Structure 1
Amino acid sequence: MRASADANGSGGQRRSLRVRTAEDQRSHVPVHVVWEITLACNLKCGHCGSRAGKRRANELSTAECIDVVRQLAAAGTREITLIGGEAYLRRDWLEIAAEIARHGIHCGVQTGARGLTRERIAKAHAAGVRAIGVSVDGLRDLHDSLRGVAGSHDQAIRAIHDIRDVGIEPGVNTQINARSMHQLPQIFDEIVAAGAKYWQVQLTVAMGNAVDNSAILLQPHQIIDVVDCLAGLYHRGRDLGLRLLPGNSIGYFGRHEPHWRSMTSDIEHWSGCTAGETTLGLEADGTIKGCPSLPKSHFAGGESRSTSIDEALRNLAARTVRRDGNRGRSFCGSCYYWNTCRGGCTWVSHVLEGKRGDNPYCYYRATTLAKRGLREKIVKVAEAPDEPFAVGRFEVRLERVDGSRAPRSLGLDDKRRKRGRLVLCQSCEEYIYAGERLCPHCGASSGNHPGDPSAADDQLALDLRKSIDEVERHGRRILEIAAMPGENEQMPSPE
């Protein structure tokens, strides 16, 4: 059985506060809120989507922030993550954190950790902060280059140790781009050694500074190597006590999906963007958005000085993926999984072409095209304005592996779009729709069509295989221990 993720996202037994219920979705409860409380920052990240650095001129006052916390508590929010810029550069950040904790909401902080001293961490813990995630974007030289400040890597690793020693379970957040993708195994080893217990990974997305430095962006076909690597690290992490959490931009389906998407012991899969539905983002000036990463130009539901949280949620309802009427474009528009996935992360697709519904950073999409000798490439055709959360414009091109252009008509899914409940194929462990007689991925008899006596419970089958894996892993460990000489053990002398 897979361990449930606790409130901090690690492998404990408590049910995660972020797990959305059907009632949460129906009622649009803002279960998880990511709140930029200031845009002030002491780093100079070349991939920063918000172009953080200076404070906003009209950031909310302490009293206004306290009122926002009260409204979120009344709306049913269970977790708030404070970000910046750098959250602790705001003088009243501990007062805001304490108010969040006072309302029984789990309070976390995401930080670049430059200047995050042990004293600050201890004060955060006393105020009620129970999760701190530290950004580590590469080994020392790469991290310092991406973050724009020499020594920032060493400060980040030191902060992980300090967070652990103070009594907060430390986590790490890593941006994956063309420069960092090859260092993922080494980053894994480094953060495990530092004591991290959870690792959220996400793609560097084409917004703000990342548009200016677009050479660092992954090309869509590289998502195959990235996801294959991360999936292997996920399984290694389970053995070492590190929970790898794929962010919403890491997608979707394919052979790894049954293993790592769930925050509970159930087998779960990507089921669509939750922006504006059970997730909210807040900017320091009070802007209420469906997601902290989305630009306010298209995804704001109001400002807290003039709009209540409840009213903003109503304003955002028509822009959620289940209500906006988007039917998808290109491969996504033809995709077998569209009615479940709905185009993946809204942020990833919107920043490329100005609208959602066509997400080239999809594992299933990239692997399907690769089987035909095709791949996709993004090409920047317009720069982003010099303002927070600004987007440029990119063209998604289809090409053959030799780099020659291919017609877009070749880049569609060859499996017909379906609707219904997803189950696992017992042969290839990829998701298929219940009622399919043959798996559209491997061609095997699915064993799940009505009346088939050989139908197997996919949950039971996967749990059984995982149990066998666990037994084998423990067996290997016993053999390793048995082969180790004890500290005082000596070989017997020949008689």
Structure 2
Amino acid sequence: MTQDFNIQEYMTKGVERVVADAIRATLKNPKESAFMAKFAVASKAASKKRAAKEENGEHVPPFLIASITSACNLHCAGCYSRCNSATEDSEPVNQLTDDEWKNIFDEADDLGVSFILLAGGEPLLRKGVIEAAAKKPSILFPIFTNGTYMTEKYFEDFDKNRNLVPIMSIEGEKEATDHRRGEGVYDKLISNMDELKKRGIIFGASVTVTTENIKEVSSESFISMLSEKGCKAIIFVEFVPVDEGSEHLAPDDEDREYLKGEIMRLRKEHEEMVFVSFPGDEKTSGGCIAAGRGFFHINSHGGAEPCPFSPYSDINVRDTSLREAMKSKLFLDLQAGDVLMDDHKGGCVLYEKRKQVEELL
């Protein structure tokens, strides 16, 4: 890590920018803008908590990724979670209970975590966990969902609890989405968007960027379509090849430069939306922000991992506190070493350098 790079300052400014963008994106929606204004106050208070801990030598990341279930009804082509055996069809066993997740959310709130991304599997299968998240208005919970389980009950929950933000996975237009996710998925997503817009509920889209869809998903026609449907946030996630034969789908340096330029353009031309790229340009953040630098991942069984793409753990939140999990030996070794800063080909340095991560274990 470079001497003059301050990860706490970088992440705090990043959070402030996302919140400011979200407030701007919801100005024409009184209910949403009122919530975002309150959340902005809570986010600043959380930043102060983290800064106070940083002064005492304790780093708390503002983001947490929580995979609250390993069950999923879809078989998306190249899914990293299935390839890592983190997602399955059978009834999950030995997963964290609703109460255990509630305790994690409580402690995260006390520590100053501002965002908890709920993932899976398919997170909407865990209604009890979603209800626990709804009770923490000072934390924003983007819910990364395939959209197929969005029912009237969930529409009502999202309306009542504005800290729950559905982020629906879409791969581009109908052909590209149904090709990767299954027939009929695109139409269900469009139906969900229409219902969310009708109720004035903020929502976002998560796009897995591959060499095949990069031009389509950053095109004006696709972005304008999402904007007209009421989408307020788009998260571009670079495809990570976790199974043999899919390496050609991973964006290379030229593709990443193209996407970076398109995102800069979109931010100027579509101020009604928030655009986030993951992992984006890691050079500006002093390297990868996983392993507790900017975020870390808790899997459905409680294992604290550097990242969903790096499913290695030496500590479980069932046996310790969230605070102690952040100080796991694996995380500290990764932060102190060169792995997170290394140059790499694909979208995830930790996946590409997985042998080095395994050696640290």
2:104 corresponds to which residue?
68
2:302 corresponds to which residue?
286
Give the whole-Å Cα distance in 1 for the aligned partners of 2:222 and 2:53.
35
Question: Judging changes above 3 Å, is the alpha-carbon distance between structure 1 residues 291 and 94 closer, same or farther for their aligned structure 2 residues?
Answer: same
Question: Judging changes above 3 Å, is the alpha-carbon distance between structure 1 residues 229 and 108 closer, same or farther for their aligned structure 2 residues?
Answer: closer
3-state secondary structure, aligned to 2:236: strand
Question: Judging changes above 3 Å, is the alpha-carbon distance between structure 1 residues 218 and 273 closer, same or farther for their aligned structure 2 residues?
Answer: closer
Higher helix fraction: Structure 1 or Structure 2? 2
Question: Judging changes above 3 Å, is the alpha-carbon distance between structure 1 residues 350 and 233 closer, same or farther for their aligned structure 2 residues?
Answer: closer
3-state secondary structure, aligned to 1:311: helix
Give the whole-Å Cα distance in 1 for the aligned partners of 2:21 and 2:156.
17
1:117 corresponds to which residue?
151
Q: Which of 113, 125, 129 matches 1:77?
A: 113
Q: Is the 2:296–2:304 contact (alpha carbons within 8 Å) kept by the matching residues of 1?
A: yes
- CA distances 1:369-414 after superposition (whole Å, capped 9, x unpaired): xxxxxxxxxxxxxxxxxxxxx9xxxxxxxxxxxxxxxxxxxxxxxx
Q: Is the 2:250–2:347 contact (alpha carbons within 8 Å) kept by the matching residues of 1?
A: no
- Deviation for aligned residue 1:139: 1.3
1:234 counterpart = 2:264? yes
Question: Judging changes above 3 Å, is the alpha-carbon distance between structure 1 residues 164 and 213 closer, same or farther for their aligned structure 2 residues?
Answer: farther
Unaligned runs of 5+ in 1: 254-268, 329-340, 358-389, 391-495
3-state secondary structure, aligned to 2:315: strand
Q: Is the 2:125–2:149 contact (alpha carbons within 8 Å) kept by the matching residues of 1?
A: no
- CA distances 1:162-216 after superposition (whole Å, capped 9, x unpaired): 2333333221111111221231214323312322112111211022xxx145155
- Deviation for aligned residue 1:22: 5.7
Give the whole-Å Cα distance in 1 for the aligned partners of 2:162 and 2:198.
16
Give the whole-Å Cα distance in 2 for the aligned partners of 1:123 and 1:237.
30
Q: Which of 125, 132, 141 matches 2:175?
A: 141
Question: Judging changes above 3 Å, is the alpha-carbon distance between structure 1 residues 347 and 68 closer, same or farther for their aligned structure 2 residues?
Answer: farther
Unaligned runs of 5+ in 2: 1-15, 26-35
2:206 corresponds to which residue?
173
- CA distances 1:297-324 after superposition (whole Å, capped 9, x unpaired): xxx2411211211211121442343x1x
Give the whole-Å Cα distance in 1 for the aligned partners of 2:354 and 2:214.
26
1:271 corresponds to which residue?
286
3-state secondary structure, aligned to 1:40: coil
1:183 counterpart = 2:216? yes
Question: Judging changes above 3 Å, is the alpha-carbon distance between structure 1 residues 291 and 225 closer, same or farther for their aligned structure 2 residues?
Answer: closer
Q: How many residues align?
A: 316
2:249 corresponds to which residue?
217
2:324 corresponds to which residue?
311
1:32 corresponds to which residue?
63
RMSD (Å) for aligned C-alpha atoms: 3.3
Give the whole-Å Cα distance in 1 for the aligned partners of 2:179 and 2:346.
29
1:42 corresponds to which residue?
73
The 5 Å alignment of 1:78-477 reads: 78-101=114-137, 104-147=138-181, 149-184=182-217, 185=219, 186-207=221-242, 211-214=243-246, 216-218=248-250, 220=252, 223-240=253-270, 241-248=272-279, 250-252=280-282, 269-275=284-290, 276-296=292-312, 300-315=313-328, 316-321=330-335, 323=336, 325-326=337-338, 343=343, 348-355=348-355
Q: Under a length normalisation based on structure 1, what TM-score does the superposition of the two structures give?
A: 0.57
One-letter amino acid of the counterpart of residue 69, structure 1: F
Q: Is the 1:35–1:82 contact (alpha carbons within 8 Å) kept by the matching residues of 2?
A: yes
- CA distances 1:228-272 after superposition (whole Å, capped 9, x unpaired): 255235324433322221212x3256xxxxxxxxxxxxxxx3333
- Deviation for aligned residue 1:92: 1.4
Question: Judging changes above 3 Å, is the alpha-carbon distance between structure 1 residues 233 and 98 closer, same or farther for their aligned structure 2 residues?
Answer: closer
Identity percentage over the alignment? 20
Tell me which of the two structures has the higher relative contact order, counting C-alpha pairs closer than 8 angstroms and 6 or more residues apart: 2
Q: Is the 1:177–1:204 contact (alpha carbons within 8 Å) kept by the matching residues of 2?
A: yes
Give the whole-Å Cα distance in 2 for the aligned partners of 1:216 and 1:140.
22
Question: Judging changes above 3 Å, is the alpha-carbon distance between structure 1 residues 226 and 291 closer, same or farther for their aligned structure 2 residues?
Answer: closer
- CA distances 1:50-95 after superposition (whole Å, capped 9, x unpaired): 1134343211112222222222222222221211111111241332
- Deviation for aligned residue 1:4: 3.7
Question: Judging changes above 3 Å, is the alpha-carbon distance between structure 1 residues 66 and 353 closer, same or farther for their aligned structure 2 residues?
Answer: closer
3-state secondary structure, aligned to 2:225: helix
One-letter amino acid of the counterpart of residue 350, structure 2: H
Question: Judging changes above 3 Å, is the alpha-carbon distance between structure 1 residues 161 and 279 closer, same or farther for their aligned structure 2 residues?
Answer: same
Question: Judging changes above 3 Å, is the alpha-carbon distance between structure 1 residues 133 and 301 closer, same or farther for their aligned structure 2 residues?
Answer: same
- Deviation for aligned residue 1:141: 1.0
Q: Is the 2:202–2:231 contact (alpha carbons within 8 Å) kept by the matching residues of 1?
A: yes
Question: Judging changes above 3 Å, is the alpha-carbon distance between structure 1 residues 114 and 230 closer, same or farther for their aligned structure 2 residues?
Answer: farther
- CA distances 1:105-143 after superposition (whole Å, capped 9, x unpaired): 222211111131344122233245342211111211111
One-letter amino acid of the counterpart of residue 333, structure 2: R
Give the whole-Å Cα distance in 2 for the aligned partners of 1:348 and 1:281.
14
Q: Is the 1:200–1:245 contact (alpha carbons within 8 Å) kept by the matching residues of 2?
A: yes
Give the whole-Å Cα distance in 1 for the aligned partners of 2:24 and 2:356.
33
3-state secondary structure, aligned to 2:348: helix
Structure 1 or 2, whichever has the larger Rg, is 1
